[in-house]
Amino acid sequence: MVGLVRGVKRKLVLLDDASVPEECHNVLIMTVTKPRKAERTRTENKAKPELPWNVLLHNDWNNSMPRVVVVLKKVVPGMTLKKATRIMWEAHRSGQAVVKSCHKELAELYMERLQEENLTVSIEPAG
């Protein structure tokens, strides 16, 4: 049998089963299957974002106000003079002030560095 494939200019030759040797029957049979889309599964244990921790500066009578401002600027990256002064005044008036809110490891690092400068600081979960 001779047939034309639509859109293709070549001839397609189809053979009868009688004209093909029996050992070649499997070679001529081909099936085309579409690949299945992968099933999407929801994971039950999604990683939850870590809650932030606050670094707290406590008022003390061992450090002068200008020294506290200088230490805050030195230890906390991106701390401006204006923000350091505001934090110092809040700690002076109310007894404590939030220096930074960040993930726990970074909060522990800031606490350690501020304590090395003899400031009274602690950390607590934000919220």
Edge-to-edge strand list for the sheet holding 96-102: 96-102, 53-58, 121-125
Q: Is the pLDDT of residue 6 over 60?
A: no
In a domain, 120, yes or no: yes
Are 76 and 99 spatial neighbours (Cβ–Cβ below 8 Å)? yes
In a domain, 40, yes or no: no
The number of distinct structural domains making up the chain is 1
Residue 21: pLDDT band with limits 50, 70, 90? low
In a domain, 78, yes or no: yes
Quick one: pLDDT at residue 12? 46
57-82 burial, b at 16+ Cβ within 10 Å, e below that, comes to bebeeebeeeebbbbbbebbeebeee
Instruction: Quick: pLDDT tens for 39-74.
Output: 666 666 677 778 999 999 999 999 999 999 999 999
Q: What is the pTM of this model?
A: 0.62
For the chain, how long is the longest CA-to-CA vector? Answer: 106
Domain ranges, residue 116: 53-125
